[in-house]
Amino acid sequence: MAASRTLIKNGTIISVDPKIGQLDSGDVLIEDGKIVAIAPNLEADNAEIIDASGAIVMPGFVDSHRHLWQAVVRHIGSNWTHGQYLMGVHLGLSGDFRPEDTYNGNLLGGLEALDSGITTLLDWSHNIDTPQHADAAVEALQSTGMRSVFAHGGGATMWNLPSNVPHTRDVLRIRDQYFSSNDQLSTMAFALRGPQFSTPEVAAADWKLIQELDTRVTVHNGDGEWGKQRPVAWMRDHGMLNDRVTHVHCCTLADDELKMIADSGGTASVSVDVEAQMGMGVPATGRLLDAGVRPSLSIDVCVSNGGDMFNAMKSTIALQRLLDSEAEAVPGEQEAVRLRCMDVIEFATIEGARALGLDHITGSLTPGKDADIIIVRADGLAMTPLNNPSGALVYSGHPGLVDTVLVRGKTVKREGKLLRGDLDDVKRRAIASRDYLFRAALDRPSIADARLGGSWTPGIHKVSRETV
Ligand SMILES: [Zn+2]
């Protein structure tokens, strides 16, 4: 059978591949879902042509940590603290999610991400109290058509902190049923509570289960007060650090713990918007770089902040540049900025892929990798003339400019529209779930005052370990 070919023509290419770099005008040839060539003036017989004139062609973004189920209650906590979020959502509205609400949240959140140019996402799924919730979460994620990692994080019974309930063994069934091979578009990881959120005995038991499951691990370490109790040192002392572990947040970890992550070959995920809002500590981007870890970026909690990587790149670079200039002997007179626009583009692409163990497959435009590609319009009033593509992308990019999205060579968005006909239904279902959850809240004394419109502020759940 003849190969299926797509040729993307005349785009400004930000490859994120160090050997290829940036091309002012170039083409990308895709064959059977894989990138086979990147150069100016490529020719190919029988190829579908995508004209990328006036646009930036780059790898799709990778979000290395997001609690996707929360999409149906997005933005209700945009004015909340960490303690209010724990009370209102994590230990509040979460309790009434039915499997269909989990499905609706994952589908909405996944499609929103794809629409904004995120081609790969790790769903840090920690509201799956029953096997049916897990089935719903996986099925919705897989139906989005994006590349995904389903990170199984259990449900409310496991998140009574600090938890003495071992991780459910249903995780083994999920693996056998949905993730039998490692070359699927959708793969699996283990979302570990770890020493911050479970007792030492449970953390050790969960680690044993991970060996049985044989997946990568993602764990929150160093967010807020909990993170000051040296969770990474504890993991090292118990043989739990290796290159298959991604450490989420890292804000309040000690410098020597960041070095332990580097020495183990581990990866990191930074979620600047949530960390700043919820008081999790100063985002660790710069300290991670000092320790030798190039972080990935993540969205984390859509209950508070938006779900696209343009915003994450902007927040990350703005905050780190502020910290760097303030650290100078004479702030404002440093000789050069440390963090360049290409750095945060790499964090949002190849470093995300690395954090998911997928950097040999995605995260850059490299011949041999899968064609996970986005085309971002750069011919509007805000980017013309296109004098510095990476600067324009980071400082003037937004989801509305994402014209085309390909996942493994398949076009899933074209001319600004996702190519699926059920988007109105996806939105209707999400609203129905939201309505159900707010009705159900009336029967929960701790959140009986829940209401929409932005004025609801839940009571505070104390977040220091001594008080829970
Ligand atoms: Zn998180």
Residue-wise pLDDT for 62-97, tens only, equals 999 999 999 999 999 999 999 999 999 988 999 999
Cα of 119 vs centre of ligand 1, distance in Å, is 19
Cα of 301 vs centre of ligand 1, distance in Å, is 7
Lowest mean pLDDT among 120-129, 131-140, 326-335, 377-386: 326-335
The hierarchical CATH code for the domain 61-355 is: 3.20.20.140
Q: What average pLDDT does the chain have?
A: 95
Lowest mean pLDDT among 51-60, 331-340, 355-364: 331-340
Cα of 370 vs centre of ligand 1, distance in Å, is 28
pLDDT of residue 160: 78
Cα of 145 vs centre of ligand 1, distance in Å, is 23
Answer whether residue 332 shows pLDDT above 80.
no
Cα of 34 vs centre of ligand 1, distance in Å, is 32
Cα of 431 vs centre of ligand 1, distance in Å, is 24
Helix axes 99-115 and 131-143, enclosed angle (nearest 10)? 20
CB 411 within 8 A of CB 33: no
CATH architecture entry for 5-59+372-418: Roll (2.30)
Cα of 292 vs centre of ligand 1, distance in Å, is 23
What is the tens place of the pLDDT at every residue in 110-163?
Answer: 999 999 999 999 999 999 999 999 999 999 999 999 999 999 999 988 887 778
Tell me the average pLDDT across 365-370: 98
CB 220 within 8 A of CB 252: no
Q: How far apart are CA 358 and CA 369, in angstroms?
A: 10
Which residue bears the tokens 């449970």?
202
Strands 417-418 vs 373-377: parallel, antiparallel or unpaired: unpaired
Cα of 123 vs centre of ligand 1, distance in Å, is 10
Cα of 135 vs centre of ligand 1, distance in Å, is 21
What is the tens place of the pLDDT at every residue in 263-277?
Answer: 999 999 999 999 999
pLDDT of residue 179: 97
CB 8 within 8 A of CB 375: yes
Cα of 159 vs centre of ligand 1, distance in Å, is 13
Cα of 86 vs centre of ligand 1, distance in Å, is 12
Cα of 277 vs centre of ligand 1, distance in Å, is 13
Cα of 113 vs centre of ligand 1, distance in Å, is 16
Entry field: residues in the chain: 468
Cα of 197 vs centre of ligand 1, distance in Å, is 12
Tell me the average pLDDT across 252-268: 98
Answer whether residue 462 shows pLDDT above 60.
no
- Angle subtended at Cα 304 by Cα 298 and Cα 308, rounded to the nearest 5 degrees: 40
Tell me the average pLDDT across 244-263: 98
Residue 339 has what DSSP assignment? S
Cα of 220 vs centre of ligand 1, distance in Å, is 7
Cα of 66 vs centre of ligand 1, distance in Å, is 6
Cα of 91 vs centre of ligand 1, distance in Å, is 14
Cα of 341 vs centre of ligand 1, distance in Å, is 25
pLDDT of residue 106: 98
Answer whether residue 463 shows pLDDT above 70.
no
CB 284 within 8 A of CB 250: yes
Cα of 10 vs centre of ligand 1, distance in Å, is 39
What percent of the chain is predicted at pLDDT more than 70? 98
Burial 361-385 (b: 16+ CB within 10 A, else e): bbbbbbeebbbbbbbbbbeeeebee
Cα of 276 vs centre of ligand 1, distance in Å, is 13
Cα of 164 vs centre of ligand 1, distance in Å, is 20
Answer whether residue 466 shows pLDDT above 90.
no
Q: At residue 186, what is the residue type?
A: S
Cα of 300 vs centre of ligand 1, distance in Å, is 5
pLDDT of residue 468: 30
The domain segmentation of the chain, as residue ranges, is 5-59+372-418, 61-355
